[in-house]
Amino acid sequence: MSEERRIGVYVCHCGGNISDYVDVAQVIGAVEDEPGVVVARAAMFTCSDATQQEIIDDIREQELDGMVVASCSPSLHTETFREVARRAGLNPYEYTQVNIREQCSWAHTDDREGATRKAIRLVRAGIARTRLSAPLEPVTVETVPKTLVVGGGVAGLRAAFGLAEIGLEVFLVEREAELGGQVGNLGAIYPHGNDGRALIARLTRAVGERPNITVFTRAELVEKSGSFGNYQATVRVGGEPGERIQIDVGSIVVATGFDSYEPEAGELGYGIEGVLTLPEFEQLLNQDGALTFNGKPVESIAYVYCVGSRQPGGHEYCSRYCCSTAVHDSLRVAEHSPDVRQYHLHRDMRTYGKNELLYSESRERGSLYIRFADGEPPAVEKLPDGRLRVTVRDLLTEGEELAIESDLLVLVTGMVPRQNEELTGVLKLPVGKDGFFNEIHPKLRPVETVVDGVLIAGACQGPKSASESVTSALAAVSQSAAILKKGSAELDPLVATVDPEKCSWCGTCQEACPYDAIGRLALNGKQVAAVEAAVCKGCGGCVPVCAEEAIDLQGYTDAQVRAMIDGLLQEVAR
Amino acid sequence: MTTLVNSRLVDELGRAHEFNAAACMDCGVCSAVCPLEIELLPRRLFRHVLLGMEERLVEETETIYSCLLCGLCEESCPGGVHITENVRALRHFLNTNAVGGAR
């Protein structure tokens, strides 16, 4: 069979990135007579438009049925050259990318001969794989034009409304009895002092008016099955045991929000009357008129920043929203009670972007900012008269030890990941080291997760302000639209396949599969394993555990991998 | 020694003389450009006022009066603090205030 193949091999200089350390001509000399190779050429930049066109011409004129490009990492250009193959009429899965840049020239700058020999072996392996390649067609799945939104805070509400606007049917599931989440409890929020409760009321009304949004409160997502574009979700409504409702959806937007950091007893005086967390202080500010605490007018307030954030060994991240929130709160205080003394004890102020103006305004209005050193937090004690005494070393006065007497101490507490093991388990969502849900790529795929069709929005992904949460919610809306509006989706065909002749159903592959992609099927009077192509990720975990060698991975069959090993081990002339 | 932060001083100066150093971010440009190389003025001085360190202010009387009020620091101040006005306010305070009576 191999003699019948017509393979084109292209070895890239990468403008010197490769050819400075790998002898490209020697590589071509060593592979051009490999069985099945009919074209072997070098190119300065294989990915350039001109070379792409030359490859297309070769494929057409030489009637190539296989293609190998030896250049950079497959993650960079596999799709580029699959597209070249497509344009030339060659099945894109007849293409193999060989990495001789990251794996040869960049890794072995001290050994040109060695780098060249390694490149020859890798290209031979790539040719060997391509000799046994087969044309593959993408797995096409129909998608359900419905989305499940988990979490009815500002992100979930905005996502639900946005999804409904583009014509998708939406199911919104909220664990609490009321929609609104954390923003729904807030008064004026930065930057412009909009009332959180009013914002949520407006959103809730808009959601309620949409006939294509169904809201479930006191409800939780308890089960998910199915595959990309066709999920079956089970929602439990009304607590345990409650009513279980089955919903078919094409995508799921997770917007489960955050928890506020709860200081430990005694941490910065927490537990003493008058020592408040940021959410507790925000509730206090919702009162009308001049600020009072326990019926007494408040004359002075101290704030300690970064409580529960940027703590080595604890929550190491910055919670983003707390500096701006506390500064904005101090302006709200100054608005109603201009004579209240306000002292801000911080490690750094991070009122990023336009919020810097709030910081300036707060200083203009007389707030005093005192910077303390990392690892030297202020000490808090209660005075006999009921007030609080906060002691801190001020870095801007050359380490002067200062004591501040105040009526209130606000611990500017940050965001922590919500304890949500059940949901994380149901959706198999990846959780980062910090405990928040992880996206695939922080810049380019910021709301997608490794679970296809499951998107994350808002502060469940990491600390965000209300406006940032809404931004990510709308990103999740557009990503849902990208998945669902076409009505179908094409998935990579590099998936596992079972040979029913060889399979004797032992169940080992099913146990090995991390994606629940393998089921059981009765066929010709016996039980055999069956792979659901739309669920399979092509990880290959089931292949080596099969005692009967009945499972193969498309594009990486056992035969191909053995041929690649033979190619790698073939002698290289010195 | 711990200093008890006291707003009386800045209140008094602010009311009587519109002393305002809120925008001072303690960057030190003022000290860097001072032709007399007065190290203390004005950033640390203002900090002492903001924190209510009145005795420190009295100790610094000599320095406060050695300023030429040339305004180079004010021209260079990224926070736009009215430094010369503030120094005048401090001198007036020292002249009139009982605490500075030693002079």
Residue A351 Cα distances to A120, A322, A413, B26, B49, angstroms: 55, 9, 15, 18, 25
A492-554 shares the fold of A2-136: no
The topology under which CATH files domain A492-554 is: Alpha-Beta Plaits (3.30.70)
Cβ(A417)–Cβ(A435) below 8 Å: yes
Contact between chains at B4 and A400 (C-beta distance less than 8 A): no
pLDDT tens digits for range A4-15: 899 999 999 999
pLDDT tens digits for range A93-152: 999 999 999 999 999 999 999 999 999 999 999 999 999 999 999 999 999 999 999 999
pLDDT tens digits for range A364-406: 888 999 999 998 999 999 999 999 999 999 998 888 899 999 9
Chain A residues 26-85 with CB within 8 Å of chain B = none
Residue tagged 């066929």 (tokens):
A523
What 3-state class would DSSP assign to A292? strand
Contact between chains at B51 and A401 (C-beta distance less than 8 A): no
**For the residues of A444-497, what is the DSSP string, one character each?**
TBTTB-SSTTEEE-GGGSS---HHHHHHHHHHHHHHHHHHHTTSEEEE----EE
Residue A73 Cα distances to A7, A54, A352, angstroms: 20, 21, 37
Which class would CATH give A146-257+418-488?
A: alpha beta
Nearest to A403 among B3, B23, B48 (CB): B3
B60 touches chain A (CB under 8 A): no
d(CA A522, CA A471): 48
Cβ(A7)–Cβ(A66) below 8 Å: yes
Residue A428 structure tokens: 């198999």
Nearest to B3 among A341, A366, A400 (CB): A400
Closest chain B residue to A401 measured between Cα atoms? B2
Residue A421 has pLDDT above 50, yes or no: yes
Q: Is the ipTM of this complex over 0.90?
A: no
From the options 3.40.640, 3.90.105, 3.40.50, 3.90.470, give the CATH code of A2-136: 3.40.50
Residue A359 has pLDDT above 50, yes or no: yes
Cβ(A41)–Cβ(A57) below 8 Å: no
Residue among A76, A62, A64 at smallest CA distance from A12: A76
Closest chain B residue to A389 measured between Cα atoms? B4
- Residues in Cβ contact with A19 at an 8 Å cutoff, skipping those fewer than 6 apart: A13, A105
Q: Say what percent of chain A tops pLDDT 90.
A: 89
pLDDT tens digits for range A334-357: 998 889 999 999 999 999 999 999
| Domain A261-414 CATH superfamily | FAD/NAD(P)-binding domain (3.50.50.60)
Cβ(A11)–Cβ(A41) below 8 Å: yes
Classify residue B98 by burial, with Cβ atoms within 10 Å: 0-12, 13-18, 19+. Answer: exposed
Residue A515 has pLDDT above 90, yes or no: no
Contact between chains at B4 and A405 (C-beta distance less than 8 A): yes
Residue B42 has pLDDT above 60, yes or no: yes
d(CA A172, CA A256): 12
Nearest to A397 among B1, B22, B51 (CB): B51
Question: In chain A, where are the structural domains located?
Answer: 2-136, 146-257+418-488, 261-414, 492-554
Residue A82 structure tokens: 């699959």
pLDDT value at residue A561: 96
pLDDT tens digits for range A182-212: 999 999 999 899 999 999 999 999 999 999 9
Residue A153 structure tokens: 């805070």
What 3-state class would DSSP assign to A277? strand
Residue A503 has pLDDT above 80, yes or no: yes
The minimum CA-CA distance between A399 and chain B, rounded to whole Å, is 11
pLDDT tens digits for range A556-565: 999 999 999 9
Q: Which residues pair with A72 in a beta bridge?
A: none
Question: In chain B, where are the structural domains located?
Answer: 8-97
HEC sequence for A70-116: EECCHHHHHHHHHHHHHHHCCCHHHEEEEECHHHHHCCCCCCHHHHH
**For the residues of A388-445, what is the DSSP string, one character each?**
EEEEEEEGGGTTEEEEEEESEEEEEE-EEE---HHHHHHHT--B-TTSSBPPSBTTTB
Cβ(A152)–Cβ(A180) below 8 Å: yes
pLDDT tens digits for range A222-275: 999 888 899 999 999 998 888 999 999 999 999 999 999 999 999 999 999 999
d(CA A228, CA A381): 57
Model-level pTM? Answer: 0.82
